[in-house]
């Protein structure tokens, strides 16, 4: 197979993934329909004692103090499901998806695909202060992973379909396909390649087109703010810093709460019930803090709530969200973060010039989301997709960038990666082009090659090339102008006086034991790792097998040295005085 230098590495397998992506998008959309209906069913069952799919808020219940028991029952049921079903349903979904991608070869179990939406429906339906996005990300990803396993795809291909299913589910819930693709890039794929980006984009696009058939068309929180004035520049910086502070406080509070639960002498199965008790008490005093709370987010964005009411409601929301999520129950983080961020904007609006109260609710909503997730581009486009408010794009950009910068400088990890790190699995989230991907074998290889004649006897080869002061431990073997393999020192050990030819002592040459000049350094490194060797010959083409160079491990280290030099070496302006 001939290799040519090109901008992207492409395989025909991309066509298979592209064909599967629309199927994944449709399946994830169907799952996204199921989850809200489960939430409505359990909301009606727990709070109104009826079997119905009517969209009713838990805040309008007539249970009185008995409402405190409802989230406890929900937490107890989910604890039992996690212990005797699958503990993978614990948590808010995205960290579990990240862990599956990076450390689990993107394999999900059928139990997770079934139990995750069911457990989330029970938790949220019993008043849990969560959103549906985390569970649907886990559910859509699980379904796609199962399909990939059924088709015997590779781990990399499973990852692509898992992320496609996860982000298609998010698209169907929120109607934000572009933000879902950016979420994949910033948080789930850990690469930016056509082989993964295109299937994810196709799945999200299909989910976006199907969404109006199953949900209300248009933005979830339609909003139109006035253009911000120049005075908003400073206001956005202040808002961004405060969003970063709030995001850091929420992250720290969540994991401090998890630490406290881990100290309990009770089995973790009981923790969601304890978290549910906190939810029930909070919901008794502030009923609107229960459940998903999309209606509360809409009221905050449209400035329909007094500041005193906002502060009281969101204080309770933050406390019960941290308590419930820290207990290890099942539920998402996006909707609570949207609510808390919008509430911060409402509280700051009287103090920030340059924009309307609605603008500050929107930009703080995005700022807190981008700060906590560590995904600023996703947060910016997500806020636009939820509202269609193009006038707010510039304030969104500045506020979210400042919030993200604050978090990067002050926090070691985000809310998405801290849980994984606590399991001893570190994630590095900076993406850059691998220096070995930017360099080709032709750029790295040594062209002044010492080769050996395969027809020479072993005794002569040892004496001429493998003696005590030999410069290399292995050499390409050439016969009749064609490379026939690599001869290593160990192959001649004990045969220093043998009359056998070097060719006879070699293992037969396989096609993947040579490199081509147009292949990348990454391919060369992978081949060496696969074969357990430190040098490979480079041939002009597979037909002639004419030797043109050799690539060694030392050659593969050069690009990393160049990157280190660029990162650390400070240079003066040319011509400046020494």
pLDDT digits (tens, 9 = 90+) for 298-326: 999 999 998 999 999 999 999 999 999 88
Q: What DSSP string describes 94-143?
A: HHHHHHHHHHSTT---HHHHHHHHHHHHHHHHTT---BSHHHHHHHHHHH
Q: Given the structure tokens 């987010």, which residue do they identify?
A: 297
Where residue 578 falls among pLDDT bands split at 50, 70, 90?
A: very low
Interatomic CA distance for residues 576 and 578, integer angstroms: 6
Domain ranges of the chain: 13-214, 232-421, 435-563
Topology, domain 232-421: Clc chloride channel (1.10.3080)
Topology, domain 435-563: CBS-domain (3.10.580)
Where residue 132 falls among pLDDT bands split at 50, 70, 90?
A: confident
- Amino acid 557: pLDDT: 86
Interatomic CA distance for residues 373 and 415, integer angstroms: 6
Determine how many CB atoms are found less than 10 A away from the CB of residue 323.
24
Q: What pairs with residue 113 in β-bridges? A: none
Of the candidate ranges 259-263, 348-352, 380-384, 454-458, the one whose mean pLDDT is the lowest:
454-458
- Amino acid 545: pLDDT: 87
- Amino acid 409: pLDDT: 93
- Kindly state the average pLDDT of the residues 249-265: 90
- Amino acid 195: pLDDT: 87
Q: Given the structure tokens 């072993």, which residue do they identify?
A: 458
The helix or strand, by DSSP H or E, that contains position 550, with its residue range, turns out to be strand 547-552
Q: Given the structure tokens 């199921």, which residue do they identify?
A: 34
- pLDDT of 41 strictly over 50: yes
Where residue 494 falls among pLDDT bands split at 50, 70, 90?
A: low
Buried b (16+ CB within 10 A) or exposed e, 443-464: ebbeeeeebbebebbbeebbee
Better pLDDT: 96 or 445: 445
- Kindly state the average pLDDT of the residues 207-221: 92
Contact call for residues 369 and 341 (beta carbons, < 8 A): yes
Contact call for residues 527 and 512 (beta carbons, < 8 A): yes
Q: What DSSP string describes 187-218?
A: IISSS--HHHHHHHHHHHHHHHHHHHHHS-SS
Where residue 1 falls among pLDDT bands split at 50, 70, 90?
A: very low
* Superfamily designation of domain 13-214: Clc chloride channel (1.10.3080.10)
- pLDDT of 408 strictly over 80: yes
Residues 6+ apart with CB under 8 A from 441: 515, 516, 517, 518, 519, 520, 521, 523, 524, 538, 549, 551
Q: Which of 321, 355, 356 is nearest to 338 (CA)?
A: 321
Largest CA-CA distance found in the chain, in angstroms, rounded: 97
For 447, how many CA atoms within 13 A lie in the half-sphere containing its CB? 6
Domains 232-421 and 435-563 share a fold: no
pLDDT digits (tens, 9 = 90+) for 49-99: 999 999 898 988 889 999 999 999 999 999 999 899 888 778 766 777 777
For 533, counting Cβ atoms within 10 Å of its Cβ (0-12 exposed, 13-18 middle, 19+ buried), the class is: middle
- Amino acid 5: pLDDT: 65
Contact call for residues 183 and 375 (beta carbons, < 8 A): yes
Where residue 450 falls among pLDDT bands split at 50, 70, 90?
A: confident
Most confident range, picked from 105-109, 312-316, 330-334, 525-529: 312-316
Of the candidate ranges 198-202, 364-368, 488-492, the one whose mean pLDDT is the lowest:
488-492
- Amino acid 423: pLDDT: 74
Better pLDDT: 530 or 400: 400
Interatomic CA distance for residues 359 and 1, integer angstroms: 57
pTM strictly above 0.85: no
Q: Which of 526, 566, 529 is nearest to 436 (CA)?
A: 526
For 510, counting Cβ atoms within 10 Å of its Cβ (0-12 exposed, 13-18 middle, 19+ buried), the class is: exposed
- pLDDT of 528 strictly over 90: no
Average pLDDT, the chain: 86
486 token code pair: 């690599």
For 382, how many CA atoms within 13 A lie in the half-sphere containing its CB? 31
- pLDDT of 281 strictly over 50: yes
47 token code pair: 């709070």
Query: What angle is formed at CA 206 by the lines to CA 205 and CA 211, rounded to 5 degrees?
Result: 100
Chain centre to alpha carbon of residue 154: 19
81 token code pair: 């499901």
């Amino acid at each position: 197979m001939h290799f040519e230098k090109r901008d992207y590495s492409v395989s025909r397998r991309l066509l298979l993934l592209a064909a599967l992506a629309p199927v994944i998008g449709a399946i994830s959309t169907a799952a996204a329909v199921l989850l809200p209906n489960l939430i409505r069913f359990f909301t009606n069952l727990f709070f109104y004692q009826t079997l119905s799919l009517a969209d009713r808020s838990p805040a309008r219940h007539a249970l009185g103090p008995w409402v405190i028991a409802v989230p406890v029952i929900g937490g107890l049921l989910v604890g039992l499901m996690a212990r005797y079903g699958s503990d993978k349903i614990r948590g808010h979904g995205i960290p579990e998806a990240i862990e599956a991608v990076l450390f689990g070869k993107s394999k999900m179990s059928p139990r997770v695909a079934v139990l995750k939406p069911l457990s989330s429906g029970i938790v949220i339906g019993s008043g849990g202060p969560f959103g549906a996005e985390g569970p649907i990300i886990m559910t859509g990803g699980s379904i796609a992973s199962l399909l990939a396993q059924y088709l015997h795809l590779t781990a990399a291909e499973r990852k692509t379909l898992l992320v496609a299913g996860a982000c298609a589910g998010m698209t169907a819930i929120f109607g934000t396909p572009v933000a879902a693709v950016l979420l994949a890039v910033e948080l789930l794929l850990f690469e930016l390649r056509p082989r993964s980006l295109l299937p994810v984009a196709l799945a999200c696009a299909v989910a976006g087109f199907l969404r109006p058939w199953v949900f209300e068309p248009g933005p979830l929180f339609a909003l139109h703010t006035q253009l911000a004035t120049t005075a908003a520049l400073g206001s956005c910086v202040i808002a961004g810093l405060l969003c970063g502070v709030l995001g850091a406080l929420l992250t720290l509070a969540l994991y401090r709460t998890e630490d406290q639960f881990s100290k309990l002498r009770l089995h973790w199965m009981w923790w969601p019930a304890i978290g549910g008790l906190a939810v029930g008490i909070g919901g008794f005093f502030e009923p609107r803090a229960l459940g998903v709370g999309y209606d509360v987010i809409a009221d905050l964005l449209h400035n329909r709530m007094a500041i005193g009411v906002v502060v009281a409601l969101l204080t309770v929301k933050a406390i019960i969200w941290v308590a419930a999520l820290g207990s290890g129950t099942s539920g998402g983080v996006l909707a609570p973060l949207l609510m808390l961020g919008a509430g911060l904007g409402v509280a700051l609006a009287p103090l920030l010039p340059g924009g309307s109260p609605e603008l500050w609710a929107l930009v703080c909503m995005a700022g807190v989301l981008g700060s906590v997730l560590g995904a600023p581009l996703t947060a910016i486009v997500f806020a636009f997709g939820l509202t269609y408010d193009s006038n707010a794009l510039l304030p969104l950009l500045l506020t979210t960038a400042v919030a993200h910068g604050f978090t990067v400088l002050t926090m070691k990890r985000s809310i998405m990666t801290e849980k994984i790190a606590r399991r001893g699995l570190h994630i590095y989230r900076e993406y850059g082009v691998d220096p070995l991907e930017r360099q080709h074998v032709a750029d790295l290889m040594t062209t002044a090659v010492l080769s050996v004649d395969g027809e020479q006897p072993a005794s002569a080869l040892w004496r001429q090339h493998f003696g005590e002061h030999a410069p290399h431990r292995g050499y390409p073997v050439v016969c009749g102008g064609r490379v026939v393999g690599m001869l290593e020192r160990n192959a001649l050990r004990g045969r220093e006086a043998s009359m056998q030819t070097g060719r006879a002592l070699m293992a037969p040459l396989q096609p993947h034991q040579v490199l081509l000049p147009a292949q990348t350094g990454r391919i060369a490194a992978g081949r060496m790792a696969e074969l357990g060797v430190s040098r490979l010959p480079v041939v002009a083409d597979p037909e002639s097998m004419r030797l043109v160079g050799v690539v060694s491990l030392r050659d593969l280290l050069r690009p990393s040295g160049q990157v280190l030099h660029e990162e650390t070496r400070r240079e003066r302006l040319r011509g400046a005085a020494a």
